[in-house]
Amino acid sequence: MKLIKVAAAVLNQTPLDWEGNRARILAAIDAARSEGVSLLCLPELCITGYGCEDAFHGLFVPATAARMLEELADETSGMIVSLGLPLLHNGGLFNTACLVADRRILGFVGKQHLAGEGIHYEPRWFKRWPNNVRAETELGGQCYPLGDLMFECGGVRIGFEICEDAWVASRPGADLAVNGADLILNPSASHFAFGKHKVRERFVLEGSRAFCVSYIYTNLLGNEAGRAIYDGGAFLASAGQMIARGRRFSFADFQLTTGQIDVDATRMQRARTGSFEPALDRASVTIVSGEFDFPEIRPEPSITSGEAWESGPDVKEEEFARAEALALFDYLRKSNSRGFIISLSGGADSTAVATLTTLAIRLATEELGDSGLRQKLPFLDTTFPSEARNYLSQLITCVYQSTRYSSRTTRDAAHQIASGLHVGWLEFDVEPLVQGYLEIVRKSLGRALDWATDDLALQNIQARSRAPGVWLLANIRGALLLSTSNRSEAAVGYATMDGDTCGGLAPIAGIDKHYLRHWLRWMENCGPHGVGPFPFLRAVNQLEPTAELRPADQHQTDEADLMPYELLDAVERAAIRDKLAPLEIQLLMESRFPDYTPQQLGVWIERFFRLWSRNQWKRERYAPSFHLDDENLDPKTWCRFPILSGGFQRELRELRDALAKRTPAGS
């Protein structure tokens, strides 16, 4: 029995935050050392931060990272530590993992499979390292091995799969296994998406089983660079058995997940596996030796952990609440903002945003405590008693902005929400501003404006008149103004540019309205594990969504203006994610929504494509939003579409022709 205590550290890093990143790495190393850890795996590109984007092409970035690596290596006494950094070699920039053993840099492994799909653009910055290729690279006047390497330290063979390397069919782990790897490290920067955590768990377990190794997976944590959320969630597995699971969505600077592995046990499992064929004639990887003495340790119980809610029936609802809360909290502190401002209309969207910001402060306070929260938000007023409720009223302000068409129902609903959430509350009457703008334009045009000829303009001026006041309030307080538009609105442009889209961050622009309403009902009746329900949300959940921008006798509702939200979201996914043509979508929607006639579905599908095509410019101008699944509409990270296009005219004509052939004569 050869036991080794290992650990994976998830880190909340920030791109180009050299000193902060260094401090968090050192804190994780010190914590691991204090727990008797011999080998520590840190996340991908942890020195620079993963989300540096085009800054990676500045020579100072790899140069500074190399200098910092040498500084960090000096802090690894008595430990083996993997560190991620960009490495400039022979004119190419490579995403690498460096293994350091007891203050000595042993070499660098290059990432073989670059993430270039969805929100990832690694091939824009990095070159992939070819399989079975080795080289030497110079760093600080010394030469080190670089490439497809394996390391042997104290008789234990260590290899790497760097993030995407483990997601592909031709995993490097197969070559490492036949060459006798005992341990595979996977330093990752794997962004959050609904359900993705289970995929990671499967490839960690399957890798450890199929390769007969112990496997250490680590990840980034928090809102690193603005859009992507990292949920952490480290794994330690051995020979197909999970040893330990790390906590997800932590508000701490880092989380350490530790466990013991038995090197002899995985070696003997490999020997007993009939399908295993070791490389006998020629090693397909170069093995770099490094002196290291693993201490003798006593067996400890193997304990898997994780979160209680992850095995419950409401995992997606919990993930949404916790991912958004962590992202909002990190965005607040990393942008040096001093609170949140929300224009609370009494509708579902603004209520969801207010609820999520409340969860951000409540969950952060619960985990970090008073001193930890004040350390991360040093601007907090120390005269307040150290209770979450007082932090909420200090950090979150909701503003109800009425016009002549605002109803008492929505005003009262908004006030109930603000009171139930214990956040700040203000009321602005913007009707005089609306009338002032209307009077200016009336005089200039020499005619009256009315609903028969100027419907859209009269709606939009109300929404736009609400923007200056909340922007002014945000400026006065140094706070972050949050936009309240959702993804369904973004798809069809059902939002007033410079009105309800105004803000520095759009936290729900990545989630559709149908799911958002479902989540609010879940929050009303259940709520996150350990938090409980918010029954006061009933004040909004019982209302039908409406913009309240037309006179009351017109009975304006969102779904009457557009189409049923459930259908809208299904059409959006079919058209934008799956790239189906309008006629294909018609047939698909007929099977999924049999309660609507084919002709009605055809009207709605055509409406979707026309509105989608003419509103790309709005999506280009949206404030940054969070990536929550692998089908978002953000043109800067996932969904590129031309601002000017033919608008699917040919495809929509084919749809109309097909429907006309199915319509009985005289009907």
**Residue in 562, 426, 411 with CA at minimum distance from that of residue 486:** 562
* pLDDT at position 222: 98
Residue 570 region, left (φ>0) first, then alpha (ψ -120 to 50), else beta? alpha
* pLDDT at position 493: 94
Q: Based on the domain organization, do 497 and 641 belong to the same domain?
A: no
Q: Based on the domain organization, do 216 and 350 belong to the same domain?
A: no
Side-chain half-sphere exposure of 490, counting CA atoms within 13 A: 29
* pLDDT at position 544: 84
DSSP string, 259-290: EEEEHHHHHHHHHH-TT-----S--SSEEEEE
Note the pLDDT tens digit of each residue in 394-431.
Answer: 999 999 999 999 999 999 999 999 999 999 999 999 99
Rg of the chain over all Cα atoms, to the nearest angstrom: 28
Q: Based on the domain organization, do 533 and 610 belong to the same domain?
A: no
CB contact burial 70-97 (16+ within 10 A = b; e otherwise): eebbebbeebbbbbbbbbbbeeebbbbb
* pLDDT at position 278: 82
Q: Based on the domain organization, do 252 and 344 belong to the same domain?
A: no
Determine phi and psi for 626, rounding to 5 degrees. -90, 145
Query: Which of 274, 298, 322 marks a domain boundary?
Result: 298
Please check whether residue 128 is in contact with residue 147, taking contact to mean a CB–CB distance below 8 angstroms: no
Q: Based on the domain organization, do 534 and 568 belong to the same domain?
A: no
Q: How far apart are CA 556 and CA 660, in angstroms?
A: 30
Q: Is residue 304 domain-resident? A: no
Q: Based on the domain organization, do 268 and 369 belong to the same domain?
A: no
**Residue in 267, 281, 262, 291 with CA at minimum distance from that of residue 180:** 267
> Can you give the CATH number for the domain in which 438 is found?
3.40.50.620
Q: Is residue 306 domain-resident? A: no
Task: Number of helices (H) and strands (E) in the chain: give both, helices first.
Answer: 22, 21
Note the pLDDT tens digit of each residue in 468-494.
Answer: 999 999 999 999 999 999 999 999 999
215 contacts: CB under 8 Å, gap ≥ 6: 183, 184, 186, 204, 207, 208, 235, 236, 237, 238
Please check whether residue 372 is in contact with residue 380, taking contact to mean a CB–CB distance below 8 angstroms: no
Q: How far apart are CA 667 and CA 665, in angstroms?
A: 6
Beta bridge partners of residue 505, listed in sequence order: 482
Q: Which residues of the chain have pLDDT under 70?
A: 282-284, 382-389, 547-548, 664-667
Beta bridge partners of residue 150, listed in sequence order: 287
**Residue in 490, 498, 494, 518 with CA at minimum distance from that of residue 343:** 498
Q: How far apart are CA 191 and CA 220, in angstroms?
A: 8
CA distances from 435 to 404, 410, 414, 432 (A): 10, 21, 24, 5
User: Residue 161 corresponds to which tokens in the numbers above?
Assistant: 């799969």
What is the distance, to the nearest Å, from the Cα of residue 217 to the centroid of all Cα atoms in its chain? 18
Q: How far apart are CA 220 and CA 254, in angstroms?
A: 9
pTM: 0.95
The range of the structural domain enclosing residue 593 comes to: 563-667
Burial (CB < 10 A; 0-12, 13-18, 19+), residue 454, is middle
Burial (CB < 10 A; 0-12, 13-18, 19+), residue 348, is buried
DSSP string, 202-247: HHHHHHHHHTTSEEEEE-BEEESSSS-EEEB--EEEETTEEEEE--
End-to-end CA distance of the chain: 82
Q: How far apart are CA 159 and CA 308, in angstroms?
A: 32
Beta bridge partners of residue 132, listed in sequence order: none
> Can you give the CATH number for the domain in which 154 is found?
3.60.110.10
Please check whether residue 480 is in contact with residue 495, taking contact to mean a CB–CB distance below 8 angstroms: no
Query: Which of 535, 559, 583 marks a domain boundary?
Result: 559
Beta bridge partners of residue 343, listed in sequence order: 399
Q: Based on the domain organization, do 421 and 479 belong to the same domain?
A: yes
Q: Based on the domain organization, do 236 and 280 belong to the same domain?
A: yes
Give the SS3 label for residue 253.
Answer: coil
Q: Based on the domain organization, do 479 and 448 belong to the same domain?
A: yes
* pLDDT at position 282: 63
**Residue in 650, 639, 570 with CA at minimum distance from that of residue 608:** 570
Relative to beta strand 214-218, strand 149-153 is unpaired
Q: How far apart are CA 113 and CA 210, in angstroms?
A: 20
Q: Based on the domain organization, do 574 and 637 belong to the same domain?
A: yes
* pLDDT at position 381: 75
Q: How far apart are CA 358 and CA 371, in angstroms?
A: 19
* pLDDT at position 70: 97
Q: Based on the domain organization, do 545 and 574 belong to the same domain?
A: no
Q: Is residue 337 domain-resident? A: yes
Q: Is residue 543 domain-resident? A: yes
Q: Is residue 585 domain-resident? A: yes
Please check whether residue 489 is in contact with residue 495, taking contact to mean a CB–CB distance below 8 angstroms: yes
Please check whether residue 187 is in contact with residue 82, taking contact to mean a CB–CB distance below 8 angstroms: yes
* pLDDT at position 312: 86
Q: Which residue do the tokens 């490999």 mark?
A: 270
Q: Is residue 108 domain-resident? A: yes
What H or E segment, with its residue span, contains residue 606? helix 598-614
Q: Based on the domain organization, do 537 and 568 belong to the same domain?
A: no
Q: Is residue 307 domain-resident? A: no
Note the pLDDT tens digit of each residue in 334-381.
Answer: 999 999 999 999 999 999 999 999 999 999 999 999 999 999 999 987
Outline where DSSP puts E strands in 54-148: 80-89, 92-101, 104-110, 134-139, 142-147
* pLDDT at position 384: 56
Q: Is residue 529 domain-resident? A: yes
Burial (CB < 10 A; 0-12, 13-18, 19+), residue 422, is middle
Q: How far apart are CA 119 and CA 618, in angstroms?
A: 20
Q: 604: how many CB neighbours lie within 10 A of its CB? A: 18
The helix-helix angle for 451-465 and 431-445 (nearest 10°) equals 130
Indicate the number of domains in the chain.
Answer: 3
* pLDDT at position 308: 86
Query: Which of 256, 271, 298 marks a domain boundary?
Result: 298
